[in-house]
Amino acid sequence: MAQPPAPAACDLESRPRQWRFFQRAAPAADASEDEHWQVATFAQQGMDEARLRPGLTRLEASPTRQALILMRNGRIVYERYFNGSRRADSNPIASVSKSMLSALVGIAMQQGFIRTAEDRIAEYLPQYFTEMRDPQKLGWTIRDMLTMAHGMQWDEDEAGRLLNRSRDWTADILQLPLSSPPGSAFLYSTGASQLIAALLTEASGMSLCDFAHRYLFAPIGIDAEFWGVDPAGTFAGGHSVSMTARELARFGTLFLNEGNWQGRQIVPGWWVAASTSPRIEIGDNYAGYGYYWWLNTIAGYDMFSALGAGGQILHVLPQLHIVMVTTHSFRGNRRDFAEEAESYDFLWNSLIPAVTGG
């Protein structure tokens, strides 16, 4: 079966190369069709609009919010765009794309490109390990990277400064010293997810962008409008991706349905369960961290979330069949993590109490 042409985001020939580690582009308009979406009223989906309205009003007042989508039972019950944003506008989704990267690891296992999460990184990237003498790095596993238990000395805020002039992100990340034994402690790192991106590229024999569109994005109707790439040609892993709020909702719906999209199993169901279950303790009032998913309990309900800098948020509450997506502008945004706290407050005090039926 012929593969559809690669999207523009994957084209390395006709794009200007950026040197920055965290990359963005001018927002592009999404040209895909959304004929699969179904819209319903709050009442039709067993939700009390009167109880929701005060919380929605507070969220609508944000000076940086671009989009807010609420879904229940696979139907959109609320969708609005703010501060000049439109439905067709793509947004930088920052580290929300790490959760998508995790899905790609599960797909790579299903396709036979990767065996297990216990595989060593060095097996897939031997060209970077020929001179490596550190036995701890030689023992790094895919699981170590997916759980952020890599042990690298990493400062997320300093990552750009370290890698903005790098000619090969993978090589320079691998040179970072260790501050703790791998597998022992959580330390959030986009460096770890970049190593997973390099591994998937080598294992699959195609670019990460092509792999994602072939096996994950195209089957569920996503077409990323932008994807960052390093000077060596490796696409960004878990950052520097742009897509629309509706496309984020598609991904959330896929995971709500345990990896199944309209009768087709896109992500193995066992991998969805594994990646959204606690794999490591992280504190900060979270219930734990899975494979690039943040885990929480809200008003007694389990929730898994994909979270990105600047208020790019995807929440999934499987017991209530709810997906929530909100995106924010990076430009002039000094609120950053405040949007995450606001979303929790809305879920706890407005959305969950408003659910009256199945």
pLDDT digits (tens, 9 = 90+) for 262-284: 999 999 999 999 999 999 999 88
- The DSSP secondary structure of 106-155, one letter per residue, reads HHHHHTTS---TTSBHHHH-HHHHTT---HHHHT-BHHHHHTT---B---
7 found inside a domain = no
Could you give the number of structural domains in the chain?
A: 1
Q: Report, as ranges of residue numbers, the positions in the chain whose pLDDT lies below 50.
A: 1
- Annotate 321-358 with b (16+ C-beta within 10 A) or e (fewer): bbbbbbbbbbeebebeeebbebbbebbeebbbebbeee
Domain range for 289 is 21-354
The count of other CB atoms within 10 Å of the CB of residue 102 is 26
347 found inside a domain = yes
Is the pTM higher than 0.85? The answer reads yes
Which pLDDT value is given to residue 13?
81
2 found inside a domain = no
35 found inside a domain = yes
293 found inside a domain = yes
Query: Taking a C-beta distance cutoff of 8 angstroms, is the pair 156, 198 a contact?
Result: no
4 found inside a domain = no
Which pLDDT value is given to residue 334?
61
Which pLDDT value is given to residue 1?
45
66 found inside a domain = yes
Say which CATH number the domain at 217 has: 3.40.710.10
5 found inside a domain = no
